[in-house]
Amino acid sequence: MLAEQALDSLSKEFTDSSLALISYNGNYSPSLVNDERRTFYTITSDPAVIFDGTDSIYPAGNYYETFKPYIEAAKTDTPFFNLEMTAAADSAFGSVDLRFVTADTLPGNNIVGCLAICQDSVDGNLKNFNYVCFQFFSFPLNLVYPDTLDTTINFTHSLIVDKLRAVAFAQNLDTKEILQAITTKF
């Protein structure tokens, strides 16, 4: 709970960046999504926070001060992609248009694009949870500079549209590094 509050504060502070937050929550995310990502990151205890797909932190103490240097360091990285995303949804169906434009030679051949459909303000026992992932999609990004990939992902849902947001990112499956991310509300 304290970790999420710190991330909420940092998200508001770093609004100029492409800070993208996803919560895989055992009580609220579908078990397949939660279990798949926990296994992928080899998470052994909670809370666990993964920065850029590579740094696993099992926080204690001042969460805000622990997390902030990771975000500041990530802001200095040169992106491998320029990402564009538009999202629309009604009460039952959603659609996300994605464009991955390579901005540099990619670091490896095992790169995937991912899309997480998240909801904010999910009612919990003691507080609301934000960034809770309800659906997760991935697809290969077999791109060579200067390639571009345009794709549309359609999905069904039963979530509150005003609380929906999408997070798209490119990830190197060999290193688990997040190469670039973007987020938008519906």
Query: What pLDDT, in 10s, does the model give residues 45-74?
Result: 777 888 888 888 877 778 888 888 888 888
pLDDT band with cut points at 50, 70 and 90 for residue 84:
very high
Of 130, 108, 123, 115, whose CA–CA distance to 175 is shortest?
Answer: 108
pLDDT > 70 fraction of the chain, expressed in percent and rounded: 97
Domain spans of the chain, in order of start: 2-74, 81-185
Are residues 136 and 80 in contact, defined by beta-carbon separation less than 8 angstroms? no
pLDDT at 18: 62
pLDDT at 43: 82
Tell me what the mean pLDDT of segment 24-41 comes to.
83
d(CA 170, CA 163): 24
> To which residue do tokens 């949870």 refer?
129
pLDDT > 90 fraction of the chain, expressed in percent and rounded: 49
Most confident of 9-18, 64-73, 90-99, 127-136: 90-99
Say whether domain 81-185 belongs to CATH 3.30.750.24.
no
Q: Is residue 102 over pLDDT 70?
A: yes
Look over the chain and give the mean of its residue pLDDT values, rounded to a whole number: 88
Tell me what the mean pLDDT of segment 157-183 comes to.
94
pLDDT at 70: 86
Cβ neighbour number for residue 180 with a 10 Å cutoff:
21
Tell me what the mean pLDDT of segment 153-180 comes to.
95
Tell me what the mean pLDDT of segment 105-131 comes to.
89
Q: Is residue 1 over pLDDT 60?
A: no
pLDDT at 146: 93
pLDDT at 38: 83
Q: Is residue 114 over pLDDT 80?
A: yes
* Cis upstream peptide for 59 (omega within 30°): no
**Three-state SS across the chain?**
CHHHHHHHHHHHHCCCCCCCCCECCCCCCCHHHHHHHHHHHCCCCCCCEEECCCEEECCCCCHHHHHHHHHHHHCCCCCCEEEEEEEEECCCEEEEEEEEEECCCCCCCCEEEEEEEEECCEECCCCEECCEEEEEEEEECCCCCCCEEEEEEEEECCCCHHHEEEEEEEEECCCCCEEEEEEEEC
Q: Is residue 140 over pLDDT 90?
A: yes
* Cis upstream peptide for 30 (omega within 30°): no
pLDDT at 169: 95
